[in-house]
Every structure is written in structure tokens, then in C-alpha cells.
Amino acid sequence: MKNKLVVITGGAGFIGSHLAEALVEDNDVVVIDNLYSGREENVPEGAKLVKADIRDYTSIAEIIREADYVFHEAAQISVEESIRDPIFTEEVNVIGTLNILNALSEGNGKMIFASSAAVYGNNQNLPLREDEPPNPISPYGVSKVAGEYYCKVFHETYGVPVVILRYFNVFGPRQSSAYAGVISIFIKRALEGKPLVIFGDGKQTRDFIFVKDVVKANILVAEKKRAEGEVFNVATGRETTILELALKIIDLTSSSSSIVFGPPRPGDIRRSLADISKLRSLGFSPEYSLEDGLAETFKWFKSEWKYF
């Protein structure tokens, strides 16, 4: 991808800033972010930051219309927050997405929509394929299902080129422990010598994928014409228990932290594992093992967070 106008909503956040970093050298990159959870210092040099809220159509419509590609990463991403405030989650994740699609229907750009494995709910027909029926168990999951349906309708009715990516458990540098990410939470607590709290028995599993592999998947589907109108799981196809993860992080950080168990959290699923054969058919293959990704994430935490 070169010499394109690329708009990244939520580009001051975790995944969006990595996308901006990967694309800014060869493209004109515009980041749209209201800095609710993003950080201005995450925006790479050379990218333009537009401080705007995707719920405010007039503040974003013009730049969206002009874009060649829109990577829509802006979202309220916390399951817990969605349970506390489902209306706010709906406004950001559904109305915000609808605003972007509406503006794209008046332009010529292609949208890559960041959806979530949360659309599957507690489906144990593993590994999960994209043709499994949605069954969300949280307002966050519902909002992502709604966003996906709007993408499909705008693709089929208005001809907007869209690709839907269902992210599983993404981790890496710049992930905020305040909003999401068991890995960032565990590393932070390990560096502080505090107990690592596991909600439930620790046998629940997740399919963890490093953020640079997620960036790779986004760029791949953006450039593939045959990906348009399709849904793809973005994961590694490997299952890790939360207890295994905690032990790996304690070992990696040489921490004295203990592991304690708390009650299960509402909205949490028991097991998560993706079938990524559909994305592999486009040429995708994860480059980072869990251990390699953890090492790079830990290196970032050591340099950026003063917990010692």
C-alpha cells in the first residue's frame, strides 16, 4: 500500500497506532481520535491527528469521504464497561460505525472494520469458524454484531467495499491495562510485585495474537479485492489457559508475584479458539509465537512504565 490517503479511527490507541506506524512511511495517514482512551504520543511522526469523536458526523464526514482506506479501530472495547453503560457502548460502537459507513457511501474508500470474537459468545463449537451464528453475551458483543450487520448492508445496498475482521485476544506494546488486555494487566502487576488475579479457576482459554500480526492481517485484507464483503477471524489458532499465561509472565518478569483466584466475571467466556483457515487462504500466517510476543511486550513495559 503506497501513496494512499489512509484514515485510521482510534489511531491514537493500541492497535490503531501500530497500524499508523506501519503505514505512515509510504502513505498520507490521518488519525481520528477523541483521546478518550488513546494517547497523543502514540500517533507516529508524519501522521496527522484530527481530534474528533466518531459519534459527531459533521466532524469526520469530509475526511472519511476523501479516504482511500479507512481502518475503523475506534470503539468502546471493555466488556465490563459495556455492562455498566450499554447505551454509551451502543453510541460509540454502533452509531460511530454507522457514521463512517454513511460518509464512505458518498466517497470511494474501502473500510476494514475491527470486530471481535465477542460476537460468538460462549460458543464451544471449537475452533470457531466465521459461519457460526452470532450469539453475544454482553452489550459489547451485541454492538459488534450490529456493526458487522451495518457493514454488510452498506456493502450490499450502497456498494461500500468493506472487510470485517474478528479480533481474538490481541496484545502488545501500548495496550492500556485500564481498558483491556489480561496480558498488560498481568505484566503491570508482575512488575509491581502484586498478585496476579485470575477470575475463575484459570482453566478458561484464549487465542492470543500479537499486535504486529494483527496489523499484517489488516493490510493484507485491505489490498485483496476478493476479501471485500467477507468476515475473517484474526488469531493464531492456538489455545492458552489463563493460568498458563500467568505462569509464563511470572517467569518472564522474574517476579515474586503470587497467583490468586477471584470469582468469575459476568460476560466472560469459558474457551476461545479460532479457525483461521479462511484468513490463511489469503496468504496470512502469524509470525509471532506467544512467547516472542510476550518478550517484546515486556521489553516495552520495562522501558515505558516506571514500576521498579
Q: Which of 36, 69, 120, 140 is catalytic?
A: 140
Query: What CA–CA distance (Å, rounded) separates 108 from 194?
Result: 51
Q: 220: which DSSP letter?
A: H
Element of type H or E holding 205 = strand 205-206
Closest alpha carbon to 221 in 9, 105, 69: 69
Interstrand relation of 205-206 and 240-241 (parallel, antiparallel or unpaired)? antiparallel
Sorted by sequence, the CB contacts under 8 Å of residue 126 that are 6+ apart come out as: 239, 271, 273
- Which residues of 42-101 form beta strands (DSSP E)? 48-51, 69-72
CB atoms within 10 A of CB 178: 11
Query: What CA–CA distance (Å, rounded) separates 302 from 299?
Result: 5
CB atoms within 10 A of CB 223: 12
Is 140 annotated in the active site? yes
Catalytic residues: 140
